[in-house]
Structure 1
Amino acid sequence: MEIVLHQWEISPYCGKVRRILRHKRLAFQTCDYNGLRALRVRRLTPPGKLPVLDYGGTRIADSSRIAAFIEQRHPDHPLFPAEPAQRATALMWEDWADESLFWFEVYFRVHDAAALKASAASICAGRPPWERYLIVPLLRLDYRARLRAQGLGRLTEAEVDRLFAQHLDSLDALLEHSPRLVGEHTTIADIAVAAMLDEIIRTSHRRAVIHARPHLCNWLTAMSA
């Protein structure tokens, strides 16, 4: 069974799928769409978004749909708790990571020059240098417009940092007495949240405020083991 993940490496949603596949102990290959190769994504799926997974001839788009698809075919090392209330909680965590925490990652990426530079190096890895000068300003303008529409882009940087710190404090408090966000074992909740935080850690100086929370930091270390 050949599994191919079509991805942008810096996308936290693609990082989420990589974590899912590793959690399931599944071998897979990646195909990156750096630079202007991103124009080819629409050949994969009409929305033109990644990740997209090719699974033995079946093509699935969207990280949450991929998670459900993989869980159905590979039930070992489950992503979703069997107990209904825990399963519901795990799905709510996944939705929070995908729909709320994601925008903090985007904000820090496009409003911080050093983070944008680090992201650009990944976005255009292996591509002609001139593509960076074309793509990065367009991405910055596009995501700043999306952030304003979403609401976070209308706040001051100090206010965004304050809200982010509140989220980190909540995660740290929850993880003080529990090894995972839901139950005793890794679930889609842990995978989704860790994937978003990983991208902030990789490119932004805000990694310091994440690492300053000891229980959160220990959890991230365990999630990466």
Structure 2
Amino acid sequence: MLELYQFELSHYCEKVRLILDYKGLAYRKVEVTPGIGQLDLFRLSGQRQVPVLKDGAAVIADSTRIALYLDQQYPDRPILPTDPKQRALCLLMEEWADESIGMNARKVMLGAFSQNPDLRSAALPTTAPGFLRSVVESLPREALDLLGSGAGFGGDALKVARTAMQQNLECLSTLLSEQPYLISDQPTLADFAVAGLSMYVKFPAGPYLDLPETLKGKGVPGLADNPAYLPFWQWRDRLYADYRKAVSVMGTPTDSSSRPTSIDIE
């Protein structure tokens, strides 16, 4: 069985999971714990980032390389168009999604968490004690902004990222208001990249991710709930409903005995 070394809340991993589900491939998720270490995954793949796919003796790192590998090795339900121009457009759009949506979505999500105590509270498990929830909700915005600045997500960077995401969502909503998919009449790599990498702007509402129920369907205020972007979010909901499998039916449970212990998130 295919093994996906992943972080459940990585949007690059979500891109790969969408492709695996679309192709109907059984796979086992191996959750990689962020933090210290990284030796197991480095020994396996020669690098430290997720996602990593293991297929027998083959080990593939990077979401784009994994997508291309899957399409070559498992050609049923292809994700790359055969028409040369459509294929070129698909690959260009996938690269744009990786760089623009992927990077800016992370920044606007962190900005929303720093500014919105309700969103921070929703991210906590339902079993979290009341005192912890109160602490998280009452964290001063100034302290969170300082931490964000230290990580390169200061106020100016967040403004630039938000403007970029507004433009991205506006363009995507326009494109998808009159066509079923971004490139052709069938979903392609571009669709799965855009859908997966937008996860941080608005988490899917269905049973697709192992995250607190209170966080499902939540997102960045002004982006996740703006009526102007409704065509995009409705399109993404349809894509998930048609092709993404529920958490309870995906593969076999993760084997914790083989789990790497640390990771950098791509």
SS of residue in 2 equivalent to 1:9: coil
Q: TM-score, normalised by structure 1?
A: 0.79
Equivalence for 2:186: 185
SS of residue in 2 equivalent to 1:210: coil
Report matched runs for 1:1-225 at 5 Å: 2-36=1-35, 39=38, 40-111=40-111, 112-113=113-114, 117=120, 144-145=151-152, 155=156, 157-202=158-203, 205-206=219-220, 209-211=223-225, 212=227, 213-225=229-241
- The unaligned stretches of length 5 or more in structure 2 are 126-131, 133-143, 204-214, 242-266
Instruction: Tell me how far 1:156 sits from its aligned partner.
Output: 5.4
Q: TM-score, normalised by structure 2?
A: 0.67
Amino acid at match of 1:83: D
Amino acid at match of 1:144: A
Post-superposition Cα deviations, 1:91-142, rounded to whole Å, max 9, x if no partner, equal 01110111111111221233332599479869xxxxxx9xxxxxxx9xx669
Contact 1:8 1:34 in 2 (8 A): yes
More deviation in 176-185 or 205-214?
A: 205-214
Instruction: Tell me how far 1:46 sits from its aligned partner.
Output: 2.4
SS of residue in 2 equivalent to 1:31: strand
Equivalence for 1:125: none
Instruction: Tell me how far 1:3 sits from its aligned partner.
Output: 0.5
SS of residue in 2 equivalent to 1:105: helix
**% identical aligned pairs:** 30
Q: CA distance change for structure 1 residues 67 and 160 in 2, over 3 Å: closer, same or farther?
A: closer
- The unaligned stretches of length 5 or more in structure 1 are 123-128, 130-136, 148-152
Amino acid at match of 1:19: L
SS of residue in 2 equivalent to 1:172: helix
Post-superposition Cα deviations, 1:171-207, rounded to whole Å, max 9, x if no partner, equal 1111111110101110000000100112321266426
Post-superposition Cα deviations, 1:127-180, rounded to whole Å, max 9, x if no partner, equal xx9xxxxxxx9xx669823x6xxxxx5725444323321211111111111110
SS of residue in 2 equivalent to 1:200: coil
User: In 2, Cα distance between the equivalents of 1:160 and 1:141?
Assistant: 13
Instruction: Tell me how far 1:68 sits from its aligned partner.
Output: 0.9
SS of residue in 1 equivalent to 2:49: coil
Contact 1:109 1:119 in 2 (8 A): no
Between 1 and 2, higher relative CO (CA 8 Å, sep ≥ 6) is seen in 2
User: In 2, Cα distance between the equivalents of 1:32 and 1:59?
Assistant: 16
Contact 1:110 1:143 in 2 (8 A): no
Instruction: Tell me how far 1:36 sits from its aligned partner.
Output: 3.4
Between the two proteins, the alignment pairs up a number of residues equal to: 203
SS of residue in 2 equivalent to 1:98: helix
User: In 1, Cα distance between the equivalents of 2:194 and 2:25?
Assistant: 21
- CA RMSD, 1 decimal: 2.9
User: In 2, Cα distance between the equivalents of 1:142 and 1:45?
Assistant: 32
Q: CA distance change for structure 1 residues 117 and 6 in 2, over 3 Å: closer, same or farther?
A: farther
Contact 1:7 1:51 in 2 (8 A): yes
